[in-house]
Chain A
Amino acid sequence: MALDAGLVGRSYPPSVVYEVGREKIGEFARALGDPDPVYVDPEAARAAGHPDVIAPPTFAIVLSLGAGEVVLADPEVSIDYSRVVHGEQRFVHHRPIRAGDRLVATASVEAVRSVAGNDMLTTRVDLTTEDGEPVCRTSSMLVARGTA
């Protein structure tokens, strides 16, 4: 079933606050096997000019995955999640995410396309601090493979 082009631009209510913890950042960096001390050592992070440990550049996926669920749960977004694969991913960082950040995620539909029976849905997630400072923007394109 093709996605309705009228969905483009639809925005969803902001998420609850996500509090970024040192331990979660460290866990994510270890999962990537990344030995950079700015992810785990507050002293090393401060020496590099950051207020606290910073997150790897792809850490924002943790928040955007959760925030994007509100789009997939929209009854008017007719996408078969069982046939979905991740097609593309983009991050634009205004500054690194860091421990202590209290972030709010706002999801919106950036684009819909249908090509050769496959539906493609691009969800944008804007991450800001709860005071409104822009931190990161993510765009995730999901492909629902057609059954034809």
Chain B
Amino acid sequence: MSAAVRYADVEVGTELPEQVFPVTRADLVRYAGASGDFNVIHWNERVATEVGLPGVIAHGMLTAGLAARAVTAWAGDPGALVEYSVRFSRPVVVPDDGVGAEVVVRGRVAALQEDQRVRVDLTVTSGGEKVLSLARAVVVLS
């Protein structure tokens, strides 16, 4: 249970590898089943547009889960991610066009803390727009 990244090897400004995650309607169905969040705006275009959305949108926690993947893949140990917080600032619209949407995750070390912890600030976009804000992870490094 230890991260692959050493605390001594990072500094404020260290960047995480950028990750791009495709999100299709099938991914939304799968996430609905796995998470238990069956809100119709995540699978029904008619209802989504009736409530004023541009179309079916991804679960916020799916986007947040993908963003967390960028952190745990970098750290090399999912157990190293000890705190994680996000604000859902804009929905990820997932069109039914066989292509779907893309979620792009960038991250950088924003603060070095005690006990070999670092705070990673994430920039998460879809279609060029920020979809999460104040997305922050605290990771225990080796």
A contacts, CB < 8 Å to B: 24, 27-28, 30-34, 36, 38-39, 48-50, 54, 56-58, 61-62, 65-66, 85-93, 95-96
Contacts and interface: CB of A to CB of B under 8 A. Distances in A.
Nearest to A38: B78
Interface in B4-59: 21, 27, 30-31, 33-37
A56 B65 CA distance: 8
6 contacts: A36-B72, A49-B2, A56-B65, A61-B37, A62-B35, A88-B134
Contact of B61 (A89, A92, A93): A89
Contact of A28 (B2, B34, B87): B34
Contacts, number: 99
A73 B78 CA distance: 34
B79 A54 contact: yes
B81 A93 contact: yes
Interface string B52-90: 000000001110111011001100011101111111100
B34 A31 contact: yes
A33 B35 contact: no
A90 B84 contact: yes
A93 B31 CA distance: 22
Nearest to A140: B61
Interface string B91-133: 0000000000000000000000000000000000000000000
A34 B34 contact: no
A91 B65 CA distance: 12
A33 B78 contact: no
A91 B61 contact: no
Among A30, A39, A86, which residue has the most Cβ atoms of chain B within 10 A? Answer: A86
Q: Which of A30, A50, A65, A85 has the most CB of B within 10 A?
A: A85
